[in-house]
Structure 1
């Protein structure tokens, strides 16, 4: 059973909309899921199924301006840690792992950096790297114009979004097959997120294009980076670069996967977390 609830982080009057599969005496791990950009924050069917099969308690939430959560103007990536701490406190959870896909991946890392005493492990799937000139950061992106506009500030990113259209060339055939089949709940959730407007997506991109508020070297927990070799949204170089800068990390490069089909690694990644955090 999934419980939906609202949490008010102390001191700022905001609301965070969250989801929890609930405590169980036999739970093997608590996992906080960080959704992609854009989504509602509701847990996706394949993620729920994989967690239930492993006795994992799954908690997810909508980042600011997504899915009923209040805006947080000027937020950076690191700000997700305080929000997650407030949610974990509200449901009586002390220690947990984090997992994030696409736009959720940097926020999963942020929790480990800012909550080192609480986060026991991290998985990122198709996660973007902090901006650097040490490699061609935009290289291999099929449609980099949206994130490029974010480097010019929030107003520029918002102007771009006003006329933006999705480029189907970002997805490889395996991505389309996944969205039509086992990951159809992802496409449906993206559609539901439209009612909340584009502010969450805009703020995510601006946060990715700015200082994240932490350094990868601060992430002491074990990290698994999962990356599709054919990803045209977040190219493989991002994961490869992060692999060399996270103190305790492992990279799974999945041959033939794109930005969506790589999510099929989630059950195995959950097994990895259970093994590393046992």
Structure 2
């Protein structure tokens, strides 16, 4: 599910990625879920590798952390890429009762799916990330979730990310920024991208013809995404 991302982004450059606290090969017992925790983790990764200044890519929920990091560590970030990103979590950005109800239902479905490991709930959650993928790919997404974090962490992080709000930091970003988003994104509405574009000072907004939140290797939008990222980093 991620191999084409790594291959595409690492071509002719060094790609450094890390597992967030609570996920993958990182410590699953580090339970901090604040923006300050995540910024400190990114600092630790950059310091350990010896990076002084570098371009930063934030995908989906990682976009909020990347935005905050670029705003609070302007001396370290040369360029910022926000892919399928948002400044406000779903519970924060809900503007009326219907949106609040939808956000609550979304959280309940995800929470029940994680707590019971019920495939039907988890499959619905997965379908929001790759709306146009075949069902077997949703099952791969579910299997990856089960392998890479605990149920407790999954629920805790989902709730924290639904309430995150870094939009007040957007105006402090000083580096050139590429905001790239699927027009029909089923997980994070395209309105989140246009709002970020209205807040970040020096940005370029690119909308892709896709309904997938996480782009698949086979869809036409994927090479377009790679082209825009390469062009932006080459400037």
User: What TM-score, normalized by structure 2, do the two folds share?
Assistant: 0.75
3-state SS, counterpart of residue 58 of structure 1: coil
> Do the aligned residues in 2 keep the contact of 1:123 with 1:223 (CA within 8 Å)?
yes
Task: Report the CA distance between 1:248 and its aligned residue.
Answer: 1.4
RMSD: 3.6
The residue aligned with 1:129 is 87
The residue aligned with 2:144 is 192
Distance in 1 (alpha carbons) for counterparts of 2:174 and 2:96: 26
Distance in 2 (alpha carbons) for counterparts of 1:105 and 1:188: 23
1:51-92: per-residue Cα shift (whole Å, max 9, x none)? 343x21111111111013224434223432221221121122
Confirm whether residue 93 of structure 1 aligns to residue 27 of structure 2.
Answer: no
- Residues 115 and 194 of structure 1: CA distance in aligned 2, closer, same or farther (over 3 Å): same
Matches within 5 A, 1:1-278: 44-53=2-11, 55-70=12-27, 71-131=29-89, 144-145=103-104, 148=107, 161-163=114-116, 165-166=121-122, 167=124, 170=128, 175-176=132-133, 188=140, 191-195=143-147, 196-208=149-161, 209-212=163-166, 215-261=169-215, 264=222, 265-276=224-235
3-state SS, counterpart of residue 231 of structure 2: helix
Q: Which runs of 4+ in 1 moved over 6 A?
A: none
Which structure 1 residue ranges, 5 or more long, are not aligned?
A: 1-38, 150-156
Distance in 1 (alpha carbons) for counterparts of 2:210 and 2:166: 30
Whose helix proportion is higher, 1 or 2?
2
> Do the aligned residues in 1 keep the contact of 2:87 with 2:166 (CA within 8 Å)?
no
Whose strand proportion is higher, 1 or 2?
1
- Residues 273 and 79 of structure 1: CA distance in aligned 2, closer, same or farther (over 3 Å): farther
